[in-house]
Structure 1
């Protein structure tokens, strides 16, 4: 008897046509990312800013010093970027006008402002050949069986890990770009934290900012709370490049092995780069560095908390960041239950969420 051939439910004509359109969208989304990369490389956000925040296509072409023959093609690029929400547009007397919006404003270079942490390095890093090649190797990575800790697809493809000395040996310029991108990503929103969570630092005498880089966050804390003595802990290769300012203390070290003792320890967008096992090790070191809750001791964690209730756009951003952690690091994004489990495994007794700010939340965790 002939084997039965599996059947499939055939979509209606309308469903089939919609499915094809959806397939185009999902298969070609990467071109929107490449369009964003192109806009950053050309300096389109900065050019629009320098033109007063609003411009026509011919004026933009001139400001970018592009050949006149490329004007129609620039218009097509801008149409995609407007549709993607990267720029705003309107018609003024039948002339299309392009404007900056909040997204493109954080891609404007050459602006001095406390809350302006330009994100161009983040865009250039995550759309780079190194990152895209790692993503292209995802299927092969899934098929590979390994013993011991599972490396990331990025490590499999490149034989080096992000933020590690091996990356600098592989490509020094790319390593510098990635570290710039990390700093830009981590520093964005410091002002919002200072304003929305001002009481977070009340009563503190000392704080250690783990993986605090050049001390941007620590300086923002001391500016808003001069009574807090801030220490930045980071790897020697980071601390060696910092110019002491007399405001923040800098300590070279590894948070897996020691964390300077202080009343509070802060981990801002650090733990999502690490596996659960590594997070427990890090949190255990932080727990050893602080006094009891009764003495004002606490660990402050600022990180993404995956939560569908934030709405489809924010949730999509969170789960895409989780996929990014899968491809590029050994870490992941976590929901509140995941965070609770980590805290308990590391020996903490309690925690509370102080504030939710966009895709991330601010935790206080207690011994």
Structure 2
């Protein structure tokens, strides 16, 4: 057996060259992430938008007030970001130079625009922040540690506090603010798409509780589309204290582990992936207590990732990377359909339906 371990199948020349290129790509992908972070910090997407949607390299240099000596370096950064789909490039018919324009990806990074697409600027800044990068760099050491359950994430193990915890501001107040802005942006992106593509799940409802609904952005959009639905937002007191008291929705300060306000439906939008299976069962059990039987319209509405390759390799990879983010920064996990089914059955639910119309995410209706 030892002799076999000392030998390995020799790849062909073509395989070896491809493996070398793949090795470079996988080892250096972090530079693509840091390039995106740099573009957001420099406000390149917002600048291109303000320049009318198209900008030359000289336009960007002037608008960003960058030293002229940095122009060739900016060109190299933009070339990588074009290749990765962050920006697009056209040839200027007059000068022959390059003109950069926004893509759907960079459009959702434009800051200061009021529309249904909430800027994802802070999501990028949060997940590429040094605290998260350091936690990921410590993965090998974390795997070797024999930690008592519940096992802390690499982030918590390294920094002494979880993300989105009361202790996080004490660790780094600026990072805590960016992380919370990023979470809000991540949660609120695509609300209008949900209402357009999956609006049927809200028809016939008279009342709904949005658990961990933050400042009520989702609930207010829901009430605007369906004025007859009485919406309640449940969140921690520190969140509710800052929520707008506009009378559109009802705000309740509390903890979904202990009690959930009664309503016909309870919504958990991008909530359960932050929690372990045991904690999810506790949350779902409380939600089940808050709703009427299925024949009276009672249901849980979950908006979250359902991991699976059916949407193609790019969406599948995005889902798996989001699961790695959960592993590095939280005690939660992104789940497959089988994982979700086990949670529902353990919490006492009888059936569920998955609506796959939200890209990498799904809507799951769960029935008591």
TM-score (norm 1): 0.97
Per the TM alignment, residue 355 of structure 1 is displaced from its structure 2 partner at its CA by: 4.0
Deviation larger for 355-364 or 30-39: 355-364
What SS class does the counterpart of residue 121 from structure 1 fall into?
Answer: helix
CA deviation after TM superposition for structure 1 residue 182, in Å:
0.5
CA distance in 1, matches of 2:270, 2:5: 51
CA–CA separation in structure 2 for the residues paired with 1:343 and 1:42: 45
Q: Pick which of 181-190 and 171-180 moved more.
A: 171-180
1:235 correspondence with 2:236: yes
Change (3 A) 1:211 1:5: closer
Greater CA deviation, 90-99 or 3-12? Answer: 3-12
Using the TM superposition, name which of 319-328 and 13-22 deviates more. Answer: 13-22
**Partner residue, 2:97:** 95
Aligned residue pairs: how many? Answer: 365
Question: Per-residue CA shift, 1:210-264, capped at 9, x if unaligned?
Answer: 0000000000000000000100001111111112111111111111111011111
Write out per-residue CA displacement over residues 317-344 of structure 1, whole angstroms, 9 at most, x where no aligned residue: 0000011111110111111111111100
Deviation, 1:279, is 0.5
Separation in structure 2 between the aligned mates of residue 169 and residue 288 of structure 1, nearest angstrom: 36
SS in 1 for 2:354: strand
Matched ranges for 1:27-106 at <5 A: 27-93=27-93, 94-106=96-108
Once residues 26 and 5 of structure 1 are traced to their aligned partners in structure 2, the CA distance between those partners, rounded to angstroms, is 25
**Residues of 2 paired with 1:69 and 1:147: CA distance?**
53
Distance 1:360 1:3, change over 3 A: closer
The 5 Å alignment of 1:133-152 reads 133-152=134-153
1:51 Cα offset (Å): 0.8
Pair 1:322 & 2:333 matched: no
Q: 1:107 aligns with which of 92, 106, 109?
A: 109
Unaligned runs of 5+ in 2: none
Q: How far apart are the structure 1 equivalents of 2:223 and 2:244?
A: 17
- 1:193 maps to 194
- Equivalent residue of 2:205, what SS? coil
Stretches of structure 1 lacking an aligned partner (at least 5 in a row) = none
Superposed counterparts of 1:152-301, under 5 Å: 152-301=153-302
Structure 2 Cα separation of the partners of residues 223 and 127 of structure 1: 35
Paired residue secondary structure (1:305)? strand
Deviation string for 1:93-135 (max 9, x for gaps)? 321111101000000011111x120000000000100000000
1:335 aligns with 2:336: yes
Q: Secondary structure at the match of 2:167?
A: helix
Give, in angstroms, the shift of residue 92 of structure 1.
2.4
Cα drift, residue 354 of structure 1? 3.2
Give the whole-Å Cα distance in 2 for the aligned partners of 1:282 and 1:4.
51
Contact 1:197 1:355 in 2 (8 A): no
How far apart, in 2, do the equivalents of 1:162 and 1:233 lie? 20
SS at match of 2:307: coil
Distance 1:346 1:5 in 2: 47
SS of residue matched to 1:110: coil
Alpha-carbon shift at residue 4 of structure 1 (Å)? 7.1
Distance 1:233 1:169 in 2: 25
Q: Is the 8 A contact 2:197 2:357 kept in 1?
A: no
**Alpha-carbon distance in 2 for matches of 1:116, 1:333:** 24
Residue 169 (structure 1) shift: 1.9
**Alpha carbons of 1:4 and 1:132: their partners in 2 closer, same or farther (altered >3 Å)?**
closer
Distance 1:206-1:21 versus aligned 2 partners, 3 A rule: same
**SS in structure 2 at match of 1:200:** helix
CA separation in 1, counterparts of 2:20 and 2:38?
A: 27
**SS in structure 1 of the partner of residue 187 of structure 2:** helix
* Cα distance in 2 between the residues matched to 1:15 and 1:199: 50
Runs of 4+ in 1 over 6 A off after TM superposition: 2-5
1:3 deviates by 6.7
TM-score, length of structure 2 as denominator length: 0.97
